[in-house]
Amino acid sequence: MNRVEPIYAITMRIQELLDDKISSNHRQEVLDEINQLLIQRGTYMEEISEPYTSEELNLGKQIVTLNKSIQEKMDKLFKTLKIEMKQLKQQKNSNRKYINPYENVQTVDGMFMDKKK
Could you give phi then psi for residue 52, rounded to 5 degrees?
-105, 145
3-state secondary structure of 111: coil
CB atoms within 10 A of CB 17: 17
Q: Where are the domains of the chain?
A: 5-74
| pLDDT over threshold 80, residue 49 | yes
Q: What is the DSSP string of 45-101?
A: HHH--S---HHHHHHHHHHHHHHHHHHHHHHHHHHHHHHHHHHHHHHHHHHHHHH-T
| 3-20 pLDDT per residue, tens | 889 999 999 999 999 998
- The band of 117, judged by pLDDT with boundaries at 50, 70 and 90, is low
| pLDDT over threshold 60, residue 1 | no
* This prediction's pTM: 0.74
Q: How many residues does the chain have?
A: 117
